[in-house]
Structure 1
Amino acid sequence: MMKQLIGGMKWTGSATIINTGMQLLQYVILGRLLAKSDFGLMGMVTVIIAFAQVFTDMGVGNAIVHRQNASNKQLSTLYWLNVITGATVALIVFLTAPLVAGFYDEPRLIELIHLIALIFCIIPFGQQFQFIMQKNLEFDRIAKTEITSVVLGVCLAIILAFSGAGVYALVFGQIAFHTIKSILYGFQGWSTFRPSFYFNLREVKEFLSFGVYQMGSRSVSYFSSNVDYILIGRFLGAEALGIYTIAYQLVVVPVTKINPLITRVAFPLFAKVQNSDQSLSKGFTDMSKMLAVITFPILFGLMCTADILVPVMFGDKWEASIPLVQILSALGLLRVLMNPNGSILLAKGRADIGFKWDLGVASIHALAFYLIVHLGVEAVAITYVILALINFLLGRILLHYVIGLNGREYFLGLSKPALFSVIMALFVYGVYLLLSFIHFPTLIIPLVVLILLGAAAYFALFYYFDKHYLMELKSLMKKKQS
């Protein structure tokens, strides 16, 4: 399994690096051109996009990956059901725009939401082909499609921002991204699987029953992940949400973009060995360590360099985001480790457990954030970290119940990436304190020095104390190439 994981990661890794870089570039440029309230408005719209997307495939996309013997008739029925559902979601989003704008007391949201509604008519035409490619482990085609879509969408957003489009630059960038991605997936998928004009819901009952739990789990998961945005926007306003959004995106981008580097590959692989708990436990432990090796140094690095990273990337007007970046980096560490849980539950066909779990988490988040939001965005961020820590610990107990996860081996696998990242962060912060006594013409110079020293220190620690793991990864990469 490790070989296939590495092989799939090559393509998803390339896509992740390029997509993450392009999206960070978008935030860096637009952060200097747009107002804080523009990012706050887009944060409100993003909640709607995330929530509505849950329903566009009726939750059956992962069911297609999970079930290994779907017929062409079943896939055709699911395809047209997806199209119908997408059009319905678009209509609902369009009609509820005044209600959402009233909730936030932001009349400007109405037109933005009307534009965003177009996305949900477009997504279904290519979405199922993406899941079929994922099931067939065609990660090269997926990666090329994702890269093309992100690059063109970001380029359009930047061009519109320079033209003075304001928040519409972000909106049209999103529309372009989803449109291009859907067209490319549809063009590629249509050549290998052409949906027939066949529709029979009785033949896809098992997909829909799986999908109901998956859709429910996604909806409460998205609500849980976005309730902070909702309440900050409602009670603290667009500008406060804009400050929070910049910090959240800077921290969450590595998590949400790097995690699929492994988890997108892992789910179809886990699905193929779903009857072997031992294989799933070992695969999950290996995957978690790999995620930690990649993301821990990034997130610890964000903590110790936020004081100069935020001004360099976004400008001095975003200095209020610095403490949020440091707090939310701890959240990022926990989300890195929590996200793969879903791959295991889906592979085992236990979407019902995922739904119940996420429902409980969403309820607790909503109540906690509602009680604390009046204290400000930093209080919300700290609360988020505390809840994430509790969720993480309980999640390990859940996986022990589902697949017999060996807790000792799991935490032992995480220990070295965590320890090396902490040592690296302390070293980098010490150098930062020394550099603060030196006058530099620009903050870019000390930032580059800190990043290079941090990367060198982390690699040196791994090479000296865990060289075997690096050699193992290198060997697997070479075997996959041959």
Structure 2
Amino acid sequence: MTIKGRAVAAVRWTSFATAGRVLLQTLQIFVLARLLTQHDFGLMAMVLTVTAFVQLFADLGVSSVIIHSRTISDDALTTLYWLNVAIGAVLAGIVAAASPALASFLGDSRAALPLALSGLSFLFLALGQQIKVLAEKRLEFRTIAIVELCSAAISTLAAIILAWNGAGVYALVAAILLLSGCNSLFYWLFARSNDWNLRAYFHFADARPYLGSGMYLLGASLANTAAVQIDILIVGRLLGSTMLGIYSVPRELCLKVMMATNPIITRVGTPLLAEVQHDKGRIRNVYLTTLAMTSAINFPIYGFIAAFRQDVALIALGPRWGNAADLLGMFALWGMFRSLGNPVGSLLYGTGKSKVALIQSLTVAVTLAITAAIAAHWGAMGVAVGITIFYAVFAIALWAGVIRPITGAGFVEYNLQWLRPLLATAAAAGVGLFVALPITDHFIRIVAGGIAGGLIYLGSSWFLNRRWVLSMMALVGRRKAEA
């Protein structure tokens, strides 16, 4: 099968899994927002701030190196696996021992036990991480899709049952542990291949050549995680756990959209870029296609959330979250511009630019930290506005520092990939709001505005972004994929 055919098949299965996960995650947020307190969500946001950083050390950046490497020996893979498992176990122990001090630093001692328990996810993830990476390298996204969807279903169901029975924040902790544990178990059961057989073998020299590049990628991942979590840390420290709960839930809702939709393209884009990494023309085409696709998928979703923020907040989160509606709208704009940076990760990792990835990630993390710290003087909304403005500027500046040197893409060519869906989204949001204007029922407003806006978006895209429309038709089998 050609690269194009393999990519379309991979995207198809990734889309299936993503759609299922989005539905499950949305259901979980809808239900738990009514069963748990804002303080529970604030505590969990603090826990995730720590675990997001520590989790990266369980992999040492080796996953991207494995995908990038054309060949890697069985001995090296075995050594890397046992090394990752050992590190995962050590990290789980460190987090458990340090949880009281970490909770005190975060500003709420009640986060200690949830944090200690969540640390077990590092070990669970390490047990199956390499199996998943090798499956991704083979573009076996059908198996990956089934595994992830089944794990998400078990995790969501358990979280809802526990929250219903009064487990509080521990319902969220259980969801994390079950998701990581089930993923690893199912990867071992269904995603293993004969290209690598695990055995009792460990020789550090076999892994050393891959750890050098891995360290750069680990540094880049740490900086990326800092960029994602720094505003959570600042809001929690300066404004308290309850305000953090009000801030983090709409933020998480918008972040989940991006994290669910972008991998449809970027997870496939990374191994594809690795295959064409020595052909600058093909790198440019794959990257620009990835950017255009992610923009065309994310922008209308975020535009809808921003336009109907009051209705979405009340229906999705419940009456208690009405004070978070404007934050939800601002985070929708934040997510729109932030999503433009995700394809850059595929570009840098797929082409082996680990040093560039580290420099770019550190620059973003430091600048965001300064921005969030200053903006916190104007409260939670100030932080949301500040980081949104940052990412809007960053989306344009990214071209000069990273995109042009690697791909050779021109400024106009680069920006047109996201300006086209932005214009179509603006037209769709305007029409959707106009149609919903005389309607008072929140649910009917969303349905009527969504249908009207969706039709306008598709119609506008046919004239402004036809390549995306044709790609979607190929994805669902209504049109043959282009060569």
Question: Does the TM-score normalized on the shorter chain lie above 0.5?
Answer: yes
Is the 1:7–1:480 Cα contact (8 Å) retained in structure 2? Answer: no
Instruction: Report deviation, 1:432.
Output: 3.0
Alpha-carbon distance between aligned partners in 1 of 2:280 and 2:348, rounded to the nearest angstrom: 12
Per-residue Cα deviation, 1:211-269 (whole angstroms, up to 9, x for no partner) = 00010000111011101111111111111111111111221111111000100001001
Runs (5+) with no aligned partner, structure 1:
none
Aligned 1:48-447 pairs, distance under 5 A: 48-190=50-192, 192=194, 193-397=196-400, 398-436=402-440, 440=441, 443-447=442-446
Q: What residue number does 1:30 align with? A: 32
Distance 1:153 1:67, change over 3 A: same
RMSD (CA atoms): 1.7
Letter of the 1:445 counterpart: I
Question: Aligned partners of 2:393 and 2:420: how far apart in 1?
Answer: 22
Deviations, residues 45-74 of structure 1 (Å, cap 9, x unaligned): 111221111111111011110001011111
- Superposed CA deviations along residues 117-153 of structure 1, whole A, max 9, x for unmatched, are 1111211111100000000110101111100110100
**Given that residues 58 and 85 in structure 1 are in contact (C-alpha distance below 8 angstroms), is that contact kept between their aligned partners in structure 2?**
no
Which residue identity is paired with 2:82?
W
Normalization by structure 1: what TM-score?
Answer: 0.95
Counterpart CA distance in 2 for 1:112 and 1:97 is: 9
Structure 1 residues 24 and 320: alpha-carbon distance in aligned structure 2, compared to 1, 3 A threshold: same
Aligned position for 1:9: 11
CA distance in 1, matches of 2:321, 2:474: 44
In structure 1, distance between residues paired with 2:361 and 2:340: 15
Q: CA deviation at 1:452?
A: 1.7
Q: In 1, distance between residues paired with 2:433 and 2:444?
A: 15
Contact 1:292 1:336 in 2 (8 A): yes
Find the residue that maps to 2:199 and give its secondary structure. coil
Q: Which has the higher mean CA deviation after the structures are superposed, 467-476 or 158-167?
A: 467-476
Q: Take 1:471 and 1:77, find their aligned partners in 2: how far apart are those partners?
A: 45
Deviation, 1:466, is 5.1
> Contact 1:235 / 1:374 at 8 angstroms: preserved in 2?
no
Give the number of aligned pairs. 476
Aligned residue type for 1:88: V
- The Cα of 1:419 is off from its aligned counterpart by 1.1
Q: Which amino acid aligns with 1:449?
A: A
Change (3 A) 1:374 1:173: same
Measured after TM superposition, the shift of residue 407 of structure 1 is: 2.5
Whole-angstrom CA distance in 2 between matches of 1:88 and 1:348: 31
- Kindly tell me: are residues 236 and 466 of structure 1, through their superposed partners in 2, closer, same or farther at Cα, counting changes over 3 Å? closer
Aligned-residue identity in percent: 30
Query: Are 1:47 and 2:45 an aligned pair?
Result: no
The CA distance in 1 between the partners of 2:67 and 2:423, in whole Å, is: 36
Separation in structure 2 between the aligned mates of residue 235 and residue 468 of structure 1, nearest angstrom: 46
Alpha-carbon distance between aligned partners in 1 of 2:191 and 2:19, rounded to the nearest angstrom: 25
In structure 2, C-alpha distance between the alignment counterparts of 1:348 and 1:463, rounded to whole Å:
32
Distance 2:302 2:259 in 1: 12
Q: Matched residue of 1:412: which SS?
A: helix
List per-residue Cα deviations over 1:450-472 (Å, max 9, x = no partner): 22222122123234665565235
Q: Which amino acid aligns with 1:184?
A: F
3-state secondary structure, aligned to 1:155 = helix
How far apart in 1 are the matches of 2:274 and 2:252?
Answer: 31
Please state whether the residue corresponding to 1:434 is helix, strand or coil: coil
Task: Select 2:21's aligned residue among 12, 19, 22.
Answer: 19
How much does 1:318 deviate?
Answer: 0.5
- Which residue number in structure 2 is paired with residue 454 of structure 1? 453
More moved, 377-386 vs 387-396: 387-396
Give the deviation of 1:180 after TM superposition.
Answer: 0.5
2:409 alignment partner AA: L
Q: Cα distance, 1:190 vs. partner?
A: 4.7
Matches of 1:465 and 1:367 in 2, distance apart?
Answer: 37
Distance apart, 1:295 and its partner CA:
1.3
- C-alpha displacement of 1:339: 0.6
Cα distance in 1 for partners of 2:205, 2:343 equals 32
Is the CA contact 2:14–2:145 (under 8 Å) kept in the aligned structure 1? Answer: yes
